[in-house]
Homo-oligomer: A and B are copies of this chain.
Amino acid sequence: MADAVEAALGLCPWLTVERVGDNVVARTVLGRDRRVLLAGHLDTVPPAEGNDEPRVVDDTLFGVGAVDMKGGLAVFLHLAGVLDSPPVDLTWCFYAAEEVSREHNGLLHLWEERPDLLAADVAVLGEPTGGVVEAGCQGTMRLRVTLTGLRAHTARPHTGRNAIHRLAGVLGAIDGYEVRRPVLDGCEYAEQLQVVSVEGGVAGNVVPDRATVVINHRFAPDRTPAQAESTVRELLAPHLEPGDHWELLEAAPAAPPSLDDPVLAALVAATGAPPRAKVGWTDVAFFAERGVPAANFGPGDPLLAHTPGEHVRADELVQVATVLDAVVRGSARGSGRADR
Contacts and interface: CB of A to CB of B under 8 A. Distances in A.
B196 A203 contact: yes
B208 A197 contact: yes
Interface in A271-293: 279-281
Interface stretch (A79-87, A152-160, A228-236): A152-160
B157 A165 contact: no
27 contacts: A140-B205, A154-B216, A155-B218, A155-B281, A156-B280, A156-B303, A162-B175, A162-B194, A164-B195, A164-B196, A164-B198, A165-B194, A165-B195, A168-B168, A168-B172, A168-B175, A194-B207, A196-B201, A196-B205, A196-B208, A197-B200, A197-B202, A197-B204, A197-B208, A198-B199, A201-B214, A205-B216
A270 interface: no
Contact of A204 (B154, B162, B216): B216
Interface in A250-267: 250
Interface of A: 138, 140, 142, 153-157, 159, 162, 164-165, 167-168, 171-172, 174-175, 192, 194-208, 211, 213-214, 216, 218, 250, 279-281, 303, 306
Nearest to A191: B155
Given A165-B175, A196-B201, A196-B208, 10 more contacts: A153-B306, A155-B279, A156-B303, A162-B175, A164-B198, A165-B195, A167-B167, A168-B172, A171-B171, A198-B198
- SS class of chain A's interface: helix, strand, loop or mixed? mixed
Contacts of A175: 162, 165, 168
Contacts of A218: 154-155
Given A164-B197, A167-B167, A198-B198, A155 B192 contact: yes
A34 B195 CA distance: 62
Contacts of A199: 198-199, 201
Contact of A214 (B196, B198, B204): B204
A285 B156 CA distance: 18
Contacts of A208: 195-197
Nearest to A156: B279
A201 B204 contact: no
A216 to B, nearest CB: 5
A270 to B, nearest CB: 26
Nearest to A306: B153
Contact of A171 (B153, B165, B174): B165
A153 B302 CA distance: 11
A167 B171 contact: yes
Contacts of A140: 154-155, 205
A211 B192 contact: no
Contacts of A197: 164, 200-202, 204, 208
Contacts of A250: 204
A201 B215 CA distance: 10
Name the residue in A142, A195, A203, A214 with the highest tally of chain B Cβ atoms < 10 Å from its Cβ: A195
B196 A154 contact: yes
Nearest to A152: B194
Given A162-B175, A197-B164, A154 B205 contact: no
A194 B157 contact: yes
